[in-house]
Amino acid sequence: MKLKSRHLLGLEGMTKEELRLILDTAVSFREILDRPIKKVPPLQGKTVVNLFFESSTRTRISFELAERRLSADVVSFSTAASSVSKGETLKDTARNIEAMKIDMVVIRHAAPGSAHFLSRVVDANVINAGDGGHEHPTQGLLDMYTLREKFGSLEGLRVCIVGDITHSRVARSNIYGLTTMGAKVSVCGPETLIPREIERLGVKVYHHLEDVIPEVDVLNVLRIQLERQKSGLFPSLREYHRFFGVTKEKVSRAPKPITIMHPGPINRDVELSADLADGEHSVILQQVTNGVAVRMAVLYLLGT
Amino acid sequence: MKKTRLIDAEGFRRTINRLAHEVVERHTGAEGVAIVGIRTRGEYVAQRLAKIVEEISARKVPVGILDITLYRDDLRGRLDQPQLKSTNILFDVTGKVIVLVDDVLFTGRTIRAALNALTDLGRPALIELLVLIDRGHRELPIKADFIGKSVPTSLKQQIKVMMSETDGEDGVYLADPDEDGKEVSA
């Protein structure tokens, strides 16, 4: 079986079979990460360019490691040190880089749809590493992988995504992927940070953590972006923490332990208390490890 | 399509039995020997072989499974992507005598890939190759150390190894293409 598209732009519209193919392939790559020599040759001779127009540590390092472990040649680029600061357009930047004969592009950009746009103007395979508030498909996949690893199956698994849903690409990719795989997905956050009509994506909406905690197996806690406070979407970090901060005291009311996820970077003791982030039911570091395996799977499936 | 049986279930058992004895004979009591099967059928041959080697040598023999997909030289340009499965070798290969096991030795390309995959895991003291069937037509300078049966074939013919683990029976068949030259479906 092969993926239908040459690109990975989002999890929206992908079939159960395609998602399963990526997750199954990632299992094989996960094993490679535990070897003494963590390198295999399938992308030998292929050149991958990482175009990061937005700052990122985790995702970028994760992609770079994944590419190198598949033996690809890797060029990474970030906005600060590039011609973008001289006013070059995305299209020009991309076409110029492609003129240097590259095979794959990984792009992170603040504009939703930038990965789609890029896939129309270049011949290389395009992988979306986050386009504004739209999608972050590899994050969605690594979250799904981590949950499947822990629970065995995603079918019927009850996952609640907590926080700023409106501006979150992680939330969207998780919703598309998890609902396709048969999980029961809900979202929880202040009314100002939950898009209207999000129920249409097949999720349940909560506005009180107390209501959702007894109903779920997993809380995927999103980073609250401090700049949202300035735009008046919530009054203060203290108030956000009081109502939507996930704490040991709040999750202790669940009938059984709740698995804690976070896409990082964490604002400790704002959206998630430090003791939970480091606690025994946290899978946050597994998410990071699995991210490399999942990205290797995507690169391998698109690049060979 | 004409199908000739080369080895029946009893012959299959005897062949693996003999190969196991050869391995123990060459490595006096299977000392330091580990057996690694190449997915899919090489894995089952390896497991059966190891069982017999353990019986006659009274020594524990580690068994591993090697998936060579990532090391294939025909990964690119294939219309269907081969399903990637995991390598499962839970012992350190460094310093071991590795008996690499596959069902059929043909062009040698699988073995080339397996050698690369194996040496990426460590540095074995020695690697030997054991195959159930050697059908000739090598495209690389590779030869087997232990051979169940050598079968001269034409390029059009197919060797089909059936094993009860996957195919419901033990046996080896030689299939001739149809008279109208149509390829035999595997």
pLDDT in the model for residue B182: 54
Instruction: With CB atoms and an 8 Å threshold, state whether B71 touches A40.
Output: yes
Residue A178's pLDDT is: 98
Please tell me the distance from the alpha carbon of residue B83 to that of residue A282, in angstroms, as a whole number. Answer: 32
Question: Hey, are the CB atoms on B120 and A35 less than 8 Å from each other?
Answer: yes
B88 DSSP 8-state letter? B
* Token output for A166: 């409106």
CA-CA distances (angstroms) from residue A115 to A59, A122, A138, B7? 16, 11, 13, 56
Q: Provide ipTM, 2 decimals.
A: 0.73
Q: Are A260 and A286 in contact, with CB atoms under 8 Å apart?
A: no
CB contact under 8 Å between A31 and B121, yes or no, is: no
Residues β-bridged to residue A219: A160, A260
pLDDT computed for residue B5 by the predictor: 93
Of B71, B80, B122, the CB nearest to A36: B122
Residue of A nearest to B80 (CA): A1
Domains of chain B (ranges plus CATH)? Answer: 9-73+84-152 (3.40.50.2020)
A/B interface, count of CB pairs below 8 Å: 44
B13 touches chain A (CB under 8 A): no
* Local structure of A6: helix, strand or coil: coil
Contact B80 A2 (CB under 8 A): yes
Question: CB of B139 within 8 A of CB of B109?
Answer: yes
Interface test with B, best of A31, A69, A71, A298 (most B CBs within 10 A): A31
pLDDT recorded at residue A225: 83
Q: Is B184 on the interface with A (CB under 8 A)?
A: no
CA A259 to mean position of chain CA atoms = 17
Q: Residue range A251-279: average pLDDT? A: 95
In this prediction, residue A232 has a pLDDT band, given cuts at 50, 70 and 90, of confident
pTM reported for the whole predicted model:
0.87
Minimal Cα distance from A297: which residue of B?
B84
| Domains of chain A by start residue, with CATH | 16-134+288-303 (3.40.50.1370), 137-283 (3.40.50.1370)
The residues on A that touch B, with CB distances below 8 Å, are 1-2, 24-25, 27-29, 31-32, 35-37, 39-42, 300-301, 304
Task: Give tens-digit pLDDT for A22-76.
Answer: 999 999 999 899 887 888 999 999 999 999 998 888 999 999 999 999 999 999 9
% of chain A residues with pLDDT over 70: 98
pLDDT, tens digit, for every residue of A77-126? Answer: 877 666 666 778 888 888 888 888 999 999 999 999 999 999 999 999 99
> Residue B88: its chain A contacts at CB < 8 A?
31
Task: Kindly report the backbone phi and psi dihedral angles of residue A36, in degrees, each rounded to the nearest multiple of 5, phi listed first.
Answer: -65, -40
Exposure string (b/e) for B126-135, b if CB count within 10 Å is 16 or more?
A: ebbbbbbbbb
pLDDT bracket for residue A227 (50, 70, 90): confident
- Determine the pLDDT at residue A150: 97
Residue pLDDT tens, chain B, 186 long: 788 999 999 999 999 999 999 999 999 888 899 999 999 899 999 999 999 999 999 999 999 999 999 998 887 666 677 778 888 888 999 999 999 999 999 999 999 999 999 998 999 999 999 999 999 999 999 999 999 999 999 999 999 999 999 999 999 999 987 655 555 444
The answer to whether B125 contacts chain A (CB < 8 Å) is no
The C-alpha atoms of residue A104 and residue A107 are separated, in whole angstroms, by 10
Q: Rounded distance, CA B11 to CA A296, Å?
A: 44
Q: Which of B81, B120, B122 sits opposite A304 (nearest CB)?
A: B81
Flag if A300 and B84 touch (Cβ within 8 Å): yes
Check B121 against A39: CB less than 8 A apart: no
